[in-house]
Amino acid sequence: MTFSIHGLAVARGIAIGRAVLMGTGGVDVAHYFIEADRVEAEIERIRVSRDAVAEELHRLQLTIAQMGPKEAPHELSALLDVHLMLLQDEELISGVKHWITDRLYNAEWALTTQLEVLSRQFDEMEDEYLRGRKADLEQVADRVLRHMAGVASPVAPPPAVARRKSQQDLLMDDSMDVPLVLISHDLSPADMLQFKQSVFAGFVTDVGGRNSHTAIVARSMDIPAVVGARSASQLVRQDDWVIIDGDSGVMIVDPSPIILAEYGFKQRQGELDRGRLSRLRHTPAVTLDGQKVELLANIEMPEDAPAAVKAGAVGVGLFRSEFLFMGRRKLPDEEEQFLAYLRAVQGMEGLPVTIRTIDVGADKPLDESLRDVAHLNPALGLRAIRWSLADPAMFLTQLRAILRAAAHGPVSMLIPMLAHASEIRQTLALIDFARTELDNRGVAHGPVKIGAMIEIPAAALTLKIFLKYFDFLSLGTNDLIQYTLAIDRADESVAHLYDPLHPAVLRLVADTIAECNRQGKMVSVCGEMAGDVAMTRLLLGLGLRCFSMHPAQILAVKQEVLRADTTRLAPWAAQVVDADDPAALLGG
């Protein structure tokens, strides 16, 4: 019987094959008290297993180092580093010793008990990315438990067995090798490496979020994947025919021949489309009439930089530095920030990186304890540059870290949510002060271009003031729409009124681009509008020549750029901006 299971779409594409179920990884753990004279021996037993797992992970890293980036991307090695760090985590080690020494638990019991303690701490974290690291901790503990039990971590396709041909077999021509897809409760980075070396065409996991390591690796490998499918590993039977729709986040089990044929066509069409787009990676983004267009990437962590390069980005147009600050008990110091920015600069291999200073508040609180509940409109309160100027010591720390990173490659600095000339002058004075502090300390720093986000109508209406002070501007269309239309973009009840094509929004966008072009200042769009292919022709027609977006959108937008003639688009774009109903003309 055909049925579907819904999860989160994390890596695009369609995979069709027979299901291989991987065990949940749960190892039966014995619980017993040890004699007091066994404490040291029990601690030694778990230490030996921990060291053996560390050696195993190091061997996997060596294997990765011998592979090409397509076989084993950078993210995989970085995730193994995370597991190695967790193995050495002091809170994990001291906790296990505590349960063995003070409670006389056996080693396995002590490990699972401490795992529960730490898991609760991860559960309480607000930041989704950090909450997702709980799965890494569970996998590290599972690996140690497996070693203690003498059980291997199995990610291998089952041996071929003779079976009666089903309708799907006949439809898929079972004379060929039948693809296999992996269904699991979760997958560790080490499992993923073996997974990559095997024959699996896609995977589904019961758990995981958009920022889980499985999702990160799947995207980097470009493998169709669905995570968070809850009970998928319990509902699917070994060897079932399965379709993974990584575009929609759906798994279809035991599909009928008609559904199978439909998805087979969709799969072939998708492969053709992606193949065509991938050939554009090294093609310069130039319009039919010879206008050169810069396609940049938005990133949230330094580890995103390699994916941006792989996608064909010619730089980072928006590094959201606030993700370095969120979901943690202590703000990162200057050295930690400097190293993070440096990794991003190095990851971009000489291409320019634009780092936005911290933009927190409203829908991006640093921590639940800091959530603004005292004000009715936190989006209009102390956020972004207002927050930074209210805490000069924190802001100067970030400014110094950015200036230091600029000594190692081309770096620009982007200031969010400015509205007043006084804020501009105060910000620039602090940047000068940060330079002076580094000079006094004898610390190297580099030149930076300084830009401002245009995301408040007041800023868009006083552009000449901004252009007097800044080297470039960047339109943050998400907030610009929110503030222009008085729509809280986090409020589902008014989400239908959030309209990028509202005439007022388009007027602000058009006038900002025109004024920057008139004064010879660079302007980009870094909001969702930049990555929406339905908007590419309009923005080109308005004179935009720099787009910054999620790396996954770059090639699709480039395709639109290559097909565009800006001399023909310009008069049409002017009509769209002047129209009462711009959406009606967008397809023209």
**Confidence bin at 212 (pLDDT 50/70/90):** low
According to the model, what pLDDT value does residue 76 have?
A: 67
Whether residue 161 has pLDDT greater than 70: no
pLDDT band at 114 (very low <50, low <70, confident <90, very high): confident
Residues forming the annotated binding site for Mg(2+)? 455, 479
The tokens 């590094």 sit on which residue? 319
Given 147, 516, 526, 546, which residue is catalytic?
526
Euclidean distance between the first and final Cα of the chain, in Å? 45
pLDDT at 210 over 80: no
Mean pLDDT of the chain: 84
Are 378 and 361 in contact, with CB atoms under 8 Å apart? yes
Q: Who's near 293: CB < 8 A, 6+ residues apart?
A: 285, 286, 287, 540, 545, 546, 547, 561
Catalytic-residue membership of 526: yes
Helix, strand, coil percentages in the chain from 3-state DSSP, rounded to 5: 55, 15, 35
What domains does the chain contain, in order, with CATH numbers? 3-22+181-188+202-275 (3.50.30.10), 38-149 (1.10.274.10), 281-367+378-587 (3.20.20.60)
Sign of CA dihedral 154, 157, 160, 164: positive
Q: What residue spans of 411-456 are helical by DSSP H?
A: 421-441
Closest CA to 459 of 412, 413, 511, 506: 511
In the block, tokens 């600050």 appear at 325
Which residue did the predictor score with more confidence, 12 or 472?
Answer: 472
Catalytic annotation, pick one of 185, 213, 445, 546:
213
Q: Tell whether the model's pLDDT for residue 158 goes beyond 50.
A: no
| Spatial distance between the Cα atoms of 376 and 433, rounded to a whole number of angstroms | 35
In sequence order, which residues have a C-beta less than 8 Å from that of residue 55 and are 6 or more positions away?
A: none
Q: Beta partners for 547?
A: 295, 525
Nearest to 223 by CA among 172, 185, 187, 178: 187
Contacts for 242 with CB less than 8 Å, ≥ 6 apart: 16, 17, 18, 19, 181, 183, 204, 236, 251, 252, 253, 254, 255
Q: Assess contact for 13 and 222: CB atoms under 8 A.
A: yes
List, for residues 176-205, the tens digit of each pLDDT value.
567 888 888 877 655 665 565 556 788 898
- What span, in angstroms and rounded, lies between the C-alpha atoms of 213 and 205? 12
- Which of 143-152, 257-266, 371-380 bottoms out in mean pLDDT, i.e. has the lowest? 371-380
Integer angstrom CA distances of residue 92 from 39, 138, 388 = 17, 11, 35
Predicted confidence band of residue 249 (pLDDT cuts 50, 70, 90)? confident
* Cα Dmax for the chain: 86
Distance CA 451, CA 259 (A): 51
CA distance 337 to 398: 7
Q: State how beta strands 241-245 and 250-253 pair.
A: antiparallel
Do residues 221 and 10 make contact, with C-beta atoms less than 8 angstroms apart? Answer: no
Any residues with CB less than 8 A from the CB of 116 and at least 6 apart, and which? none
- Could you say which DSSP state residue 304 is in? G
Q: Which of 3-7, 111-115, 363-367, 409-413 has the lowest mean pLDDT?
A: 363-367
**238 is written with which tokens?**
């070994």
Q: Strand 14-21's sheet: what is its strand order? A: 3-6, 250-253, 241-245, 14-21, 180-184, 200-205, 225-227, 8-11
| Distance of alpha carbon 34 from alpha carbon 100, whole angstroms | 8
Residue numbering of the annotated binding site? 320, 356, 455, 478-479, 489
CB-based contacts of 256, cutoff 8 Å, min separation 6: 2, 167
Q: Record the tokens describing residue 523, joined without a space.
A: 């302007």
Kindly report, residue by residue over 521-573, the tens digit of the pLDDT.
999 999 778 988 899 999 999 999 999 988 878 998 999 999 999 999 999 99
Q: What is the pLDDT of residues 216-226, one digit of tens each?
A: 667 656 688 89
Per-position DSSP letters for 107-170, written without gaps between them: HHHHHHHHHHHHHHHHHT-S-HHHHTHHHHHHHHHHHHHHHHHT------PPPP------HHHH
Nearest Cα neighbor of 526 from 550, 506, 508 is 550
Residue 263 three-state SS: helix
As annotated, the binding site for phosphoenolpyruvate includes 320, 356, 478-479, 489
pLDDT value at position 175?
A: 45
Could you tell me the pTM of the whole model? 0.62
